[in-house]
Structure 1
Amino acid sequence: MMGVNFVMVFVTVVFLWMMTVSKGDTEVSCVFMEKCILPCTFQSDTDIVIHWLQETAGNIHVHSFYHNQDQPALQDKHFRGRTSLFNNQISRGNASLLLMWADVHDEGRYKCYTSTITGNKESFINLEVNAPVQEVTLQQVGNTMNCSSEGIFPEPQLIWSTSPPSNVSLQYETTVQQTEQQLYNISSSLILSDSDKDSVFSCNISTRRNWRNATLSEQGNVVPVRGFRGGVFAAFLVVAAAGLALYCKWKRS
């Protein structure tokens, strides 16, 4: 019984500790090879010290500022030449970090430590880096349809579908490869069968932040986006109705 109580107390302590660690963390999403801002504020005062650390990489120094100037000698080489503070706003309590050319290795938990004559403060930021799906290539070669996309992060998912829905399981093989930049290239080959005649095939590639798809008929023809013409026609009807209303108002005047 005492063993059970001890386990319950231990689990409760661990849970409360995890809640304390994660409480107040700011979530920031950056796009691969673009710039982004990691926010951090403090109560403005004098004798300002700022340290940005990447916790998940072993508390390496990302950027440091004290004695009223940046301290590049402390900076880890991975971040060299890619970070800056908003120096003209530091005296007003802005310790936010500008990160240039975000890459996959930048993902993780960051700590912003600020110290002034009146006290210290720690803020935590969880940074994720995304290389969204930019384009999906879909083409047919013989009785095989090939779908692919490149330069994605994190690892994407690929799903085939047909319209109308196929009565049999689609036979396909998907391959994922990782580049030197830790990005993902994905490709999939779908074998067509006789039962797929006159079907329309869609290949959807998605990540945690976006998705794109491509659609092709079994004969190899690109299928236009459904509803596009309807949208144009609806817009035409709105314009026509507005014109008719103006005409009737003019006739009554």
Structure 2
Amino acid sequence: MTEVMCVLLVLLCLWMLTLSRGDTEVSCVYMQSCILPCSYQSSSEEVIRWFQLTEQNHSVHVYYQNQDQLGSQFPRFRGRTSLFKEQISRGNASLQLTGVQVPDEGRYKCYASSIRGKKETFINLKVDAPVSKIHIDQVGNRITCSSEGIYPEPEITWSTNPPSTFKNTTRVQQTEQQLYNISSSLIVVPDVNYMCRISTRRNSRRATLTQKSSIIGPGNGTTLTCSTSNSPHMMSLIWRFNHSQIILNQTNVGHTVSDEWRQQVKSVSESGGLTLQELSTKHEGTYTCVLSDKEETHITTTVLRMEKGGGKSSSSGATIGLEFFAILVLAAGVAILV
């Protein structure tokens, strides 16, 4: 009896291993469309049934008698599923799922049959909401790095240049849509650059906080740098004053200067640097540059102060530079542009 049980156990393990190896992995991007592949030997009297394999085995899509039969479709899938009708006769039973949600993640079964036989295909669907934006802010001597709307749960790491010790506090929250928001903060010290990286299985982004300084005298001009020398080939450039007022907007076609800043804007360089002239105390404030292309975004924030009593430029004040670098990790079967 013991030998029989051992044989049955081995057969069960082999069957489970074969079943697992037969599954197809599909990665779907949150709120986008996704195709779950399935094929069979077509003929006539086709029957196609898609299920999400849960405790209740939710009905996703049913097709027979040459039309959809959606009376028993699970409510979450209503209006979001379709077959490629013109290709069913050629053996294509693939399912298109739109507006992918986190609860869609899981194992699916495609049952397809005709008078020539039947076939079952199993799909493992994984949902990814990649890191799309990363924010880094400084209030006093504390900096915070954060991002929202991510799935699965992301990781956040800090590093410094030069290497130094620090203690960060990280908080992760899950939304009603089962997406993750993450934020981490720490206390900064002078003369240290801080790098924050937020990662998932699909992609990773990094933000670098660089601390510099600059002051000018009233009536003088100055050039505000936009990014490092290895800045991307520019697709768009925006300069703002005090976070909201647009100074200059530039694309590949050309640039536009707002009326309020025509007298102060002297020129803009190929790397995005902004040269200003005839500045007064009313131009003291925060200047923000956003330089981006399809893969990278560089943000530089400069706090500009006027030296009392005029005079030449001197060293003081503060400049905060933020650089964002996108590192794309493409999941199998799906390409994404970040």
TM-score, normalized by length of structure 2? 0.61
Q: How does 1:164-179 map to 2 (within 5 A)?
A: 164-166=162-164, 168=165, 170-179=166-175
Structure 1 CA distance, aligned partners of 2:229 and 2:172?
30
Whether the aligned pair in 2 keeps the contact of 1:84 and 1:98 (CA below 8 Å) is: yes
- Higher relative helix content: 1
Structure 1 CA distance, aligned partners of 2:232 and 2:29?
33
Q: 1:108 aligns with which of 92, 106, 109?
A: 106
Q: 1:200 aligns with which of 181, 188, 193?
A: 193
State the SS of the aligned residue for 2:32.
Answer: coil
1:227–1:42 CA distance, 2 compared to 1 (3 A): same
Cα drift, residue 118 of structure 1:
1.6
Q: How does 1:1-253 map to 2 (within 5 A)?
A: 12-56=10-54, 58-166=56-164, 168=165, 170-192=166-188, 196-218=189-211, 224=227, 227-228=230-231
Cα drift, residue 228 of structure 1:
3.4
State the SS of the aligned residue for 2:194.
Answer: strand
Contiguous gaps of at least 5 residues in structure 2:
215-224, 234-269, 272-338
Structure 2 CA distance, aligned partners of 1:174 and 1:209?
21
State the SS of the aligned residue for 2:71.
Answer: helix
1:197–1:7 CA distance, 2 compared to 1 (3 A): farther
Cα drift, residue 141 of structure 1:
0.9
* Cα deviation 1:162-188 (Å, max 9, x = unaligned): 11221x2x2110000000000000011
State the SS of the aligned residue for 2:118.
Answer: strand
Identity, % of aligned positions: 56
Task: Read off the aligned partner of 2:201 and give its amino acid letter.
Answer: R
Whether the aligned pair in 2 keeps the contact of 1:216 and 1:223 (CA below 8 Å) is: no
Cα drift, residue 14 of structure 1:
4.5
Whether the aligned pair in 1 keeps the contact of 2:102 and 2:177 (CA below 8 Å) is: yes
* Cα deviation 1:117-148 (Å, max 9, x = unaligned): 12110001110011000011011111111010
Cα drift, residue 17 of structure 1:
2.7
- Higher relative strand content: 2
Cα drift, residue 108 of structure 1:
0.5
1:44–1:136 CA distance, 2 compared to 1 (3 A): same
Structure 1 CA distance, aligned partners of 2:86 and 2:114?
17
1:64–1:140 CA distance, 2 compared to 1 (3 A): same
Cα drift, residue 57 of structure 1:
5.1
Structure 1 CA distance, aligned partners of 2:25 and 2:213?
43
Aligned residue pairs total: 225
1:164–1:11 CA distance, 2 compared to 1 (3 A): farther
Task: Read off the aligned partner of 2:148 and give its amino acid letter.
Answer: E
Task: Read off the aligned partner of 2:174 and give its amino acid letter.
Answer: Q
TM-score, normalized by length of structure 1? 0.81
Structure 1 CA distance, aligned partners of 2:7 and 2:213?
64
